[in-house]
Amino acid sequence: MSSADPLDELQLQMALQLLQQAGRELPQDAEPGSVRWLQSVVDTLCDLSSRDPLTGLANRRQFESTLAREVDRVARSGEPALVLLADIDLFKQVNDTHGHSAGDLVIKSVAAALQHCVRPMDTVARFGGEEFVIILPNCAPAFGYAVAERIRAHVEQQVVHVAPGVDVRATVSIGGAFAPQWVRSSPLIWVERADRQLYRAKSEGRNRACLEHAAVYQVSAEEKSMLFGSTPLQDSE
């Protein structure tokens, strides 16, 4: 199929329209149609597909891909890693009182606060709705709670202007879990453990951080099965 094929031209125009709607600009010094220009179109589209449109954070698909790689890295290297789940407290009240546009402003403000509190190597993603997730590679257990508390305090200090003369303050509840070192775990198990700690933070009054203590983590039966290469069928024999 030649480069002048009408279908190719249509697909390219659709891609450029998508980038324009997303406010993405291509390099001004690249000649349209050149290899460098086309590569920038592809690269920008790939980045766009991995980002949450409201906050600019990594989206859930990008998070899941990054988490899977981190699970493998921890199993091979034994380095500690932490996953934090952060949920905006009483978010429904913001929407009900001030409207969904105000809710969007609060979400964007919290997203910026989370991004401000982490290292360039960390991944902050919007998990869905008013929930966020942070992957912190090489984060020692001794520093985990300090990181979570710094994030919680920074969000609490933010003032969000949602309308003329109307300010809103948001807080977040945070749950965290460390990856079991030298163990072949799974992304789902890791997130579920962090989610249990998030539930504990909510039930204990919100606007707090609860982390699973790395020293007391028990390897689950599923993780043992992945570690030793056994299956439920083999275990029952």
With H, G, I as helix, E, B as strand and everything else as coil, classify residue 15: helix
* pLDDT value at 220 more than 60: no
Assign 50 a pLDDT band (cuts: 50, 70, 90).
confident
Res 11: pLDDT: 72
What is the distance between the alpha carbons of residues 6 and 2, in angstroms, rounded to a whole number? 9
Query: How far, CA to CA in Å, does 61 sit from each of 48, 56, 71, 87?
Result: 12, 14, 16, 18
Look at residue 40 in the predicted model and tell me its pLDDT. 67
Residue 132 CA to residue 111 CA, distance in Å, equals 8
Helix axes 100-116, 91-98, angle to 10 degrees: 140
What's the pLDDT at 7?
A: 55
Asked if residue 130 has pLDDT above 70, the reply is: yes
Torsion of CA 114, 149, 194, 187, to 10 degrees: 50
Residue 133's Cβ-count burial label (10 Å; 0-12, 13-18, 19+) is buried
pLDDT score of 5 more than 90: no
Measured CA to CA, the distance from residue 224 to residue 167 in angstroms comes to 50
Active-site position among 130, 131, 212, 223: 130
Q: Is the pLDDT assigned to residue 133 strictly greater than 70?
A: yes
Mean pLDDT of the chain: 83
What whole-number percentage of the chain has pLDDT above 90? 55
Compute how many other C-beta atoms are within 10 angstroms of the C-beta atom of residue 70: 22
Domain with CATH 3.30.70.270 in the chain: 60-224
25 is catalytic: no
How confident is residue 55, by pLDDT bands cut at 50, 70 and 90? Answer: very high
**Domain 60-224 has what CATH class?**
alpha beta
